[in-house]
Amino acid sequence: MKNFFSQTRKPEGLLGKFMLSTMNSCHAKLADWGMGHLSEISPKEIVELGCGAGRNAGELLKRYPGARLTAIDYSPLSVEKATKYNRSMIDNGRCRVQQGDVSSLQLEENRYDLATAFETIYFWPGLERCFSQVAKILKQGGYFLICNESDGKDATGKKFEDIIDGMICYTPEQIADALKKADFSEITTDHHPNKPWITILARK
């Protein structure tokens, strides 16, 4: 069980393939709720950080038909699955999927209007450091959307912290503090009325 759930961090091998096969459907409602906070934003260049199996990248491309999107994941298996999921958008020149590390992003600086991170910052090696990398690639005035299933206080999130090595379920206050230190402002936090889900939207 521990080995299986640890695949959420960096899917690999047979267990990783099975985990990725569940990600798109299991996280869909959470991701769609998070994207609902983007109603006032019309990005042309998007970066999806920790793209997993690729569903959220595809949904962002549907939501913004005039945008291009770069999807990043540090799992080669995730890159493979996300590429397959978004093949038509890649062939149309609207999407690229590549391996990358959010603690050292090798992307053009000041390029993106929107960065997104769904169910992934739990595993980032130091929030302030990684958020600074996100700020570096965003344009001035660009937005960073974070969406987590855990608010850092719920029992289920705490249970998975014990199961998955290196997982940290942050509170909205901890996330907002790290964002401020990484040169983000206009930080808005929303908590789902019935679930421990949180969405944080910040502006560079």
pLDDT digits (tens, 9 = 90+) for 93-135: 999 999 999 999 999 999 999 999 999 999 999 999 999 999 9
CATH number at 113 reads 3.40.50.150
In this prediction, residue 49 carries a pLDDT of: 98
Average pLDDT for runs of 10 along the chain of length 204:
51 53 76 95 97 95 97 92 96 97 96 97 96 98 97 91 86 98 96 97 98
In this prediction, residue 112 carries a pLDDT of: 98
Per residue in 35-67, is it b (16+ CB within 10 Å) or e — as a string?
Answer: bebbeebebebbbbbbbbbbbbbbbbbebbeeb
In this prediction, residue 5 carries a pLDDT of: 47
Q: What is the DSSP string of 80-130?
A: HHHHHHTHHHHHTTSEEEEE--TTS--S-TT-EEEEEEES-GGG-S-HHHH
For the whole prediction, is pTM greater than 0.75? yes
- The pairing of beta strand 112-118 with beta strand 68-73: unpaired
Residue 73 domain boundaries: 2-203
The number of distinct structural domains making up the chain is 1
Task: Tell me how far apart the alpha carbons of residues 117 and 145 are, in angstroms, rounded to a whole number.
Answer: 6
Give kind and range of the element (H or E) at residue 24: helix 13-26
The sheet carrying 112-118 orders its strands as 95-99, 68-73, 45-49, 112-118, 138-148, 198-203, 185-191
- Please choose, from the candidates 103, 75, 85, the residue with its C-alpha nearest in 3D space to the C-alpha of residue 7: 75
In this prediction, residue 40 carries a pLDDT of: 87
Q: DSSP class of residue 200?
A: E
